[in-house]
Amino acid sequence: MAILVISLILFRDYTVGIFFGWLLPMLAGTVTMFFIAAERKKGSIALTKAIAKGFILKMIYYGISILFLFKYSSFQPIPFVCSFSGFFIGLHILEAVIIKRISESYNTIQNKEIAQ
């Protein structure tokens, strides 16, 4: 969030593009984490299926959103693409770290069950 605010202050001429470049990945990441948290309780197979479905749905969401923005909005595309790329990469790295921690918790639980 701090990066968004700093970017909006430094590049006032490109606020719309920067904001939408942040908003699209943030919405997708938030929804993904909501579903991952719900599926986590069901087990690792359900979680893996949810991640795969989420990936496909995010690609469809990004495609439709970007086409809609470029067709019906008048902001400059380069600041949007730069902002979107940065936040997309950053949020997906964060998702990967969270999913890795969830996977490690499954391994810890399985190792405890095997040891007993």
Per-residue model confidence as pLDDT tens digits over 54-75: 889 999 999 999 999 888 888 7
Q: Are 26 and 87 within 8 A, CB to CB? A: yes
Within 10 A of 71 (CB to CB), how many other CB atoms are there?
7
Q: Are 94 and 36 within 8 A, CB to CB? A: no
End-to-end CA distance of the chain: 45
32 burial via Cβ count (<10 Å: 0-12, 13-18, 19+): buried
How do residues 17-65 score in pLDDT, each as one tens digit? 888 889 999 999 888 888 888 888 887 788 888 888 888 999 999 999 9
Which one-letter amino acid corresponds to residue 114?
A: I
- The pTM is what? 0.75
